[in-house]
Amino acid sequence: MSITVIILAAGKGTRMKSALPKVLQPLANTPLLGHVIHTAKQLHPKRIITIYGHGGELVKQAFADEQIDWVEQAEQLGTGHAVQMTLPVLPTDGLSLILYGDVPLVSLQTLQRLLEASKDSGIGMITLNVEDPTGYGRIIRQDGKIQSIIEHKDANAEQRQIHEINTGIYCVSNAKLHQWLPKLSNHNVQGEYYLTDIIAMAVADGLEIASIEPEFRFEVEGVNDRLQLARLECEWQNYQAEQLMRQGLHIVDPHRFDLRGSLKFGCDVRIDINVIIEGDCELGDNVQIGAGCVLKNTKIASGTVVQPYSVFDSAIVGQNNQIGPFSRLRPNAVLADEVHIGNFVEVKNSRIGFASKANHFTYLGDAEVGCESNIGAGTITCNYDGANKHKTTIGDHAFIGSNSALVAPVHIGNGATVGAGSVITRDVEAQSLAVERSKQVARANYQRPQKLK
């Protein structure tokens, strides 16, 4: 049976107090709506219909690369009205999952269970039992079967004692949606068209409404303000950390760990506090990541130790490297095995060969460094002439003295030595020494400039 996914994402999100539409607020560095779309795509639906409203152009632009049918809800007249807007593009066959752009964490497994439970009757929903149901629509049952949903503001005192609530997530036959949605009424306290009214319509048609509960409460938690967003972020990060630890990852403190993408890891990997993992990262056996590091789209091979407060972005690191503290690997930094990159060293678009070292205060950009070479403290490759980037090549077993500036394009040969404090503008032959300094000048009784009083 074909599946359609309908995502309600038209809310303004006034309580966010933000110029950014609510569904674009980030959770684990991904827009709320992005989480929903990612999960929906794993169901391989026939189409994804997203209802937009406030900030619609920003929302559409953020997901311009996705195959989405966009439907506008110009007036905010309730959830039933929002789904009514889809009728011109909604298929007449199959089932629709009705999701929300501000309820980001419903799992694929929960949606698959809902689809399975709903396929016979043609209608199902996710409910949840909570200690405090204040503000939520209550599930009205008779002999264990769902009869209707009553909104909190419309409920009487007895109905408000019910602890089973409506999450708003439904699975409904498209044929029934075409039948029921035009019949919705706004005769209620809010003066809105409630999507919940289709439940009573289904009962009137003699259908039994299937229901399931999610495995985790956070799957159906919505976001309306900054406090709820922060709480959901904490719940999600704790859940992810728990799953990784069950798989064998050593996280020193799961409450101070952030996964904002995906992580593959080997045996005996240890991650210290306040580490952020972004994008797709991979850590080999026995890798150690120190406190405060940020890894984004990075692959680190086995045995490498990363000292605290190092930042990696789109880097590839070999085995048994020693990196940090306070190192920075920028895009296309590729490090071979046994490399040392020390404190306040930055590597960008460069390849560093086996067992080479740059231990202090160095910038290596657009460079190729051979094996077992030593880059002294304060060395920089001057790769940018103000208009174009140029390459620096350093051979095997080279020694670059401290505070050297290598003005690209330039080649330093195998076994060559560059004297400290040199500005190298010409190629250096293999096994040779190059020193480029101006003559030292001494002036007796020199008077330094004084500040004007």
Fold classification of 3-220 (topology level): Spore Coat Polysaccharide Biosynthesis Protein SpsA; Chain A (3.90.550)
Distance CA 8, CA 102 (A): 8
Whether 449 has a pLDDT exceeding 80, the answer reads: no
State the CATH class of domain 226-434.
mainly beta
Q: Confirm if 286 and 268 have CB atoms less than 8 A apart.
A: yes
Cβ(400)–Cβ(420) below 8 Å: no
Joined tokens for residue 443: 């002036």
Q: Closest Cα to residue 81, out of 188, 192, 5, 196? A: 192
Check the annotation: does 137 bind a ligand: yes
Summarised one tens digit per residue, pLDDT across range 264-290 is: 999 999 999 999 999 999 999 999 999
What is the pLDDT at residue 192? 86
Q: Which residues contact 120 (CB under 8 A, 6 or more apart)?
A: 210
The model's pTM? 0.91
CA distance 23 to 32: 5
Among all residues, which ones are annotated catalytic? 360
Residue 373 structure tokens: 């070479």
Tell me, what DSSP letter sits at residue 256? Answer: G
Decide: helix, strand or coil at residue 374. Answer: strand
Residue with tokens 């996914």: 5
Residue 226 is assigned to a ligand binding site: no
Bridge partners for 129 per DSSP? 164
For residues 182 and 195, give the distance between their C-alpha atoms in angstroms, rounded to a whole number: 11
446 marked among binding-site residues: no
Distance, CA of 334 to CA of 368 (rounded, Å) = 10
Band of pLDDT at residue 127, cut at 50, 70 and 90 = very high
pLDDT digits over 177-203, tens only? 999 999 999 887 778 898 999 999 999
Residue 239 labelled as part of a binding site:
no
pLDDT tens by residue, 219-257: 999 999 999 999 999 999 999 999 999 999 999 999 999
User: For residue 303, what pLDDT is reported?
Assistant: 98
Sorted by where each begins, the domain ranges of the chain are 3-220, 226-434
pLDDT per residue over 9-44, tens digit each?
A: 998 889 999 999 999 999 999 999 999 999 999 999
The answer to whether 151 is a known ligand-binding residue is: yes
Judge whether 432 is annotated as a binding position: no
Structure tokens that stand for 93 in this block: 């066959």
Residue 15 Cα distances to 12, 182, 223, 293, angstroms: 9, 31, 10, 33
